[in-house]
């Protein structure tokens, strides 16, 4: 079997232009949402190969399996863990902690959402917290909108704090080789500040006016959170594996393990523990169920994107863009960082932040020579992460968690309008990015 | 070749004891359902134009918080276990009271399959086997009868 080793571009066209056209068309269709994003990403990827811009080997080399491994591993761990009911438990427990006062619950559920989001992906977090929120707000007879609005923002804010909290961070961490600790030490401090600001602003906008009668509050106080734990055995196993995975992330450098390995190892361990002692048929049924819950759309979207980006990178487009960006900022490091932060924030509010971040990573990498090596680039990664993650809060389509909450809300008869959301969320998002801007300016530049 | 009538729904079809009007209040429909011990009631206009079915499962669902009623195929985990709630009968009644005056047309189940008098008996059997207890028989958009598990079981037990 012969592999094509060198590529010949179709009709002898200029590879730079051809690859740019393929990327623009791919991204255009992704933004238009006329076609499922995994389909268009794979089509774009295959066009890169068929047009001779990449060989199959180069395309496969462009796929970052560290990122894919981490994503799949965490999806498997989460899909098993979420069934045990611990997150519903946390939500109810936190509501009772504030004596079921609506303003207190508004703040507590934002905090719980942010903390859970830092450890799980944002969509899973809101899928777990929102239904409990709706039950609590129904019992209290208060408007659920402020709670859901606040949880959208909290999930994107909390997700910013860790390597595994939000897809942009998984991408940055996976491709740049930044560890879990790097993310926590450099991003968590500002995330805590932004979260506090968020909770206070939610209180001022809505919380201080929310009221519920003592009888209704008593009803929530009667909720028995222990009943929410549906599978105590699974809870113990999942807690054990999550603790092991987190410790491995923290000690990744000492252990010499990449995040993809840790994610997949945790997934395999939890699958093993969950299936020990089951018959062969039960095992295959359980494993099929878990594998079905892996979000293959996201995985194939990443695979396709990686290849599309490898195509434009190979043709030299990203180097060219990096040079332009450097020229525009006069090669000034601080100005470059601030441009990355604000541009990422505004763009992520309007378009899907995953393709944006995936393109920016090689682009920023190619600036290394101008700024004195790849170690000097580290502050730029924090700008990219803060901008892309926080920017997602700006509009209802800015991040997938936003659309997930809006979807559940609509099905429960709670209207979630784009304009109404954006009018409040966009200025709040700009405020959060301004805090991030002050922070990175003070700490890194 | 015209199929033999014995293999068609027409042969087991019966007349529903009650047909609801779309404007009937939900509470009256609930009471009629309990009175006749029926798993679902057909809804039709005065001229017999078929509107839909109101199943008892819908009424049970209406007594629960809305988020627990949602069947969300895309995100199975948003199907929450509500066992931590300590609702009393009064709490459940309160939810029914809130919808008691709704017209039944607002609560019909769009998923209920419709059969024709000339659908095959096996077609009805397959639906009944899949947990449907009662099927509306509709011809030219007119409700002309029902096929219920009782109609079929009575024939199977040679009681009719």
Q: Is B41 helix (H, G, I), strand (E, B) or coil?
A: strand
Q: What CATH number corresponds to the domain at position B117?
A: 3.10.580.10
Q: How far is residue B48's CA from residue B141's CA, in Å, rounded to a whole number?
A: 8
Q: Which of residues 45-74 of B touch A (CB under 8 A)?
A: 65-68, 70, 72
CA distance A33 to A395: 16
d(CA A380, CA A214): 51
The CA distance from B72 to the nearest CA of chain A, in Å, is 9
B131-138 average pLDDT score: 89
Residues in B closer than 8 angstroms to A93, CB to CB, are none
Pairwise CA distance, residues B52 & A313, whole Å: 58
Residue, of A191 and B150, whose pLDDT is higher: A191
pLDDT tops 70 at residue B75:
no
Residue B77 has its nearest CB partner, among A92, A128, A222, at A128
Q: Identify the pLDDT of residue A6.
A: 53
Nearest to A227 among B75, B83, B91 (CB): B83
Q: How many CB atoms lie within 10 A of CB A117?
A: 28
B88 touches A: beta carbon within 8 Å:
no
């029926």: which residue's tokens?
A: B38
Question: What residues are paired with B52 via a beta bridge?
Answer: B43
List the single residue in B with minimal CA-CA distance to A135: B65
Average pLDDT, chain B: 87
Total CB pairs under 8 A between chain A and B: 58
Query: What's the rounded Cα separation, in Å, for the pair A76 and B85?
Result: 29
Q: Mark yes or no for CB contact B75/A83 under 8 Å.
A: no
pLDDT of A124 reads: 85
Task: Assess A77–B contact: CB distance below 8 Å, yes or no.
Answer: no
CA of A120 vs chain B CAs: smallest distance (Å): 14
Query: With a cut of 50, which residues of chain A have pLDDT below it?
Result: 1-5
Disruptive mutation site among A135, A220, A292, A298 for chain B (greatest number of B CBs within 10 Å): A135
In contact, A180 and A118? CB cutoff 8 Å: no
Q: Which of B78, B82, B92 to mutate to test the interface with A (most CBs of A within 10 A)?
A: B78
3-state secondary structure chain A: CCCCCCCCCHHHCCHHHHHHHHHHHHHHHHHHCCCCHHHHHHHHHHHHHHCCCCCHHHHHHHCCHHHHHHHHHHHHHHHHHHHHCHHHHHHHHHHHHCCCCHHHHHHHHHHHHHHHHHHCCHHHHHHHHHHHHHHHHHHHCCCCHHHHHHHHHHHHHHHCCCCCCCHHHHHHHHHHCCCHHHHHHHHHHHHHHHHHHHHHHHHHHCHHHCCCCHHHHHHHHCCCHHHHCCCHHHHHHHHHHHHHHHHHHHCHHHHCCCHHHHHHHHHHHHHHHHHCCCCHHHHHHHHHHHHHCCCHHHHHHHHHHHHHHHHHHHHCHHHHHHHHHHHHCCCCHHHHHHHHHHHHHHHHHHCCHHHHHHHHHHHHHCCHHHHCCHHHHHHHHHHHHHHHHHHCCCCCCCCHHHHHHHHHHHHCCCCCCHHHHHHHHHHHHHHHHHHHHHHHHHHCC
- Residue B4's pLDDT band (cuts 50, 70, 90): low
Determine the Cα angle at A69 with ends A64 and A71, to 5°: 100
Partner B contacted by A85 (CB < 8 A): yes
Rounded CA-CA distance A431/A425 in Å is 10
- pLDDT at B71 (0 to 100): 55
CA distance B144 to B116: 9
Residue A176 CB contacts under 8 Å (≥ 6 apart), including other chains? A361, A365, A381
Adjacent-strand bridge partners of B44: B50
Among A27-36, A45-54, B26-35, B134-143, the range scoring the smallest mean pLDDT is: A27-36
Q: Is A271 on the interface with B (CB under 8 A)?
A: no
Distance between CA A3 and CA A68 in Å, rounded?
Answer: 25
CB count in 10 Å sphere of residue B83: 14
With an 8 Å Cβ cutoff, is B98 touching chain A? no
Domains: count for chain B: 1
Looking at the complex, report in whole angstroms how far the Cα of residue B132 sits from the nearest Cα belonging to chain A.
25
Q: What's the CA gap between A84 and A431, in Å, rounded?
A: 37
State the nearest Cα–Cα gap between B79 and chain A, in angstroms.
8
A230 contacts in chain B (CB < 8 Å): 81
Among A124, A131, A139, the residue with its CB nearest the CB of B80 is A131
Residue A79: what pLDDT? 87
Quote the pLDDT of residue A1.
40
**Which residues make Cβ contacts (< 8 Å) with residue A247, sequence separation at least 6?**
none
d(CA A63, CA A304): 8
From the list A361, A445, A362, A345, the residue with the least C-alpha distance to A399 is: A345
Q: Could you give the CA distance from residue A251 to residue A151 in angstroms, rounded to a whole number?
A: 31
In what helix (H) or strand (E) does residue B147 lie, and over which residues does it extend?
Answer: strand B142-148
Q: How sure is the predictor about B65, in pLDDT bands with cuts at 50, 70 and 90?
A: confident
Check CB contact of B82 with chain A, cutoff 8 Å: yes
Neighboring chain B residues of A228 at a CB cutoff of 8 Å:
81, 83-84
Q: State which residue of chain A sits closest to B79, comparing Cα positions.
A: A131
Mutate to test the interface with A, among B73, B80, B84 (most CBs of A within 10 A): B84
Residue matched to tokens 């890169």:
A48
| Euclidean distance between CA atoms B13 and B151, whole angstroms | 7
Q: How many CB atoms lie within 10 A of CB B124?
A: 23
> Does B23 reach chain A within 8 Å, measured CB to CB?
no
- The pLDDT score that the predictor gives to residue A120 is 87
Give the CA angle between residues A27, A313, A331 to the nearest 5°.
Answer: 100
**Closest CA in chain B for residue A129:** B78
Spell out which residues of chain A touch residue B77, defining contact as CB-CB under 8 Å: 82-83, 124, 127-128
Angle at A352 between CA A351 and CA A357, to 5 degrees: 110
Q: Does A227 touch chain B (CB under 8 A)?
A: yes
Structure tokens belonging to residue A80? 């098993």
Distance from CA of A371 to the nearest CA of B (A): 46
Structure tokens at A314: 């190979």
Contact B68 A224 (CB under 8 A): no
Write out the residue range of the structural domain in which residue B96 sits: 5-156
Residues B22-44 have a mean pLDDT of 94
Task: Mean pLDDT check: name the lowest of A206-215, A434-443, B76-85, B118-127.
Answer: B76-85
Which residues have CB under 8 Å from A396's CB, separation 6+? A402, A403, A406, A416, A418, A421, A422, A425
Within a 10 A sphere around the Cβ of B110, how many other Cβ atoms? Answer: 6
Distance from CA of A415 to the nearest CA of B (A): 15
């Amino acid at each position: 079997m012969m592999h094509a080793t060198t590529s010949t571009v179709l009709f002898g066209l200029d590879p730079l232009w051809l690859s740019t056209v393929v990327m623009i068309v791919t991204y255009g269709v992704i933004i238009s949402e006329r076609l499922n994003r995994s389909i268009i990403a794979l089509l774009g990827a295959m066009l890169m190969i068929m047009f001779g811009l990449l060989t199959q080997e180069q395309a496969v080399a462009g796929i970052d399996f560290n990122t894919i491994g981490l994503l799949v591993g965490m999806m498997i761990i989460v899909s098993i863990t979420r069934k045990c009911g611990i997150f519903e438990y946390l939500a109810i427990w936190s509501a009772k902690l504030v004596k079921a006062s609506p303003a207190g619950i508004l703040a507590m559920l934002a905090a719980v959402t942010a903390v859970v989001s830092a450890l799980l992906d944002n969509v899973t977090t809101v899928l777990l917290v929102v239904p409990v929120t709706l039950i609590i707000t129904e019992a209290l007879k208060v408007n659920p909108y402020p709670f859901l609005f606040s949880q959208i923002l909290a999930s994107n804010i909390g997700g910013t704090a860790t390597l595994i909290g939000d897809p942009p961070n998984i991408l940055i961490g996976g491709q740049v080789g930044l560890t879990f600790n790097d993310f926590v030490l450099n991003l968590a401090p500002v995330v805590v500040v932004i979260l506090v600001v968020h909770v206070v602003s939610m209180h001022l906008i809505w919380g201080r006016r929310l009221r519920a009668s003592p009888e209704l509050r008593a009803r929530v106080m009667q909720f028995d959170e222990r009943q929410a734990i549906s599978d105590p055995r699974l809870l113990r196993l999942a807690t054990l594996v999550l603790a092991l995975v987190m410790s491995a992330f923290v000690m990744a450098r000492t252990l010499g393990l990449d995040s993809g390995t840790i994610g997949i190892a945790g997934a395999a361990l939890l699958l093993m523990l969950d299936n020990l002692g089951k018959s062969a048929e039960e095992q295959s049924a359980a494993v099929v169920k878990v594998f079905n819950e892996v979000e293959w759309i996201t995985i194939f979207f990443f695979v396709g994107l990686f290849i599309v980006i490898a195509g434009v990178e190979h043709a030299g487009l990203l180097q060219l863009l990096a040079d332009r960006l450097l020229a525009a900022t006069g090669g000034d490091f601080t100005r470059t960082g601030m441009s990355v932060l604000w541009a990422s924030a505004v763009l992520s509010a309007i378009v899907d932040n995953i393709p944006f971040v995936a393109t920016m990573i090689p682009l920023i990498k190619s600036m290394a020579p101008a700024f004195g090596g790849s170690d000097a680039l580290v502050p730029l990664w924090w700008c990219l992460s803060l901008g892309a993650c926080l920017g997602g809060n700006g509009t209802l389509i800015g991040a997938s968690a936003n659309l997930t909450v809006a979807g559940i809300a609509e099905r429960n008869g709670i209207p979630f309008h784009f304009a109404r959301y954006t009018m409040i969320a966009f200025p709040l998002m700009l405020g959060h990015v301004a805090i991030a801007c002050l922070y990175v300016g003070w700490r890194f530049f | 070749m015209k199929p033999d009538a014995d293999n068609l729904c027409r042969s087991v079809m019966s007349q529903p004891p009650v047909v609801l009007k779309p404007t009937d209040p939900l509470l009256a429909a609930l009471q009629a359902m309990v009175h006749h011990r029926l798993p679902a009631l057909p809804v039709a206009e005065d001229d017999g134009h078929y509107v839909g079915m109101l199943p008892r499962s819908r009424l049970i669902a209406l007594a629960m918080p809305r988020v627990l009623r949602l069947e969300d195929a895309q995100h199975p985990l948003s199907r929450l276990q509500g066992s931590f709630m300590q609702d009393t009968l009064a709490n459940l009644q309160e939810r029914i009271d809130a919808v008691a005056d709704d017209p039944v047309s607002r609560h019909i189940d769009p998923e209920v399959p419709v059969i024709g008098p000339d659908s095959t008996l096996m077609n009805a059997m397959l639906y009944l086997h899949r947990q449907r207890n009662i099927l509306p028989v509709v011809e030219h958009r007119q409700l002309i009868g029902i096929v219920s598990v009782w109609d079929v079981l009575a024939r199977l037990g040679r009681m009719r």
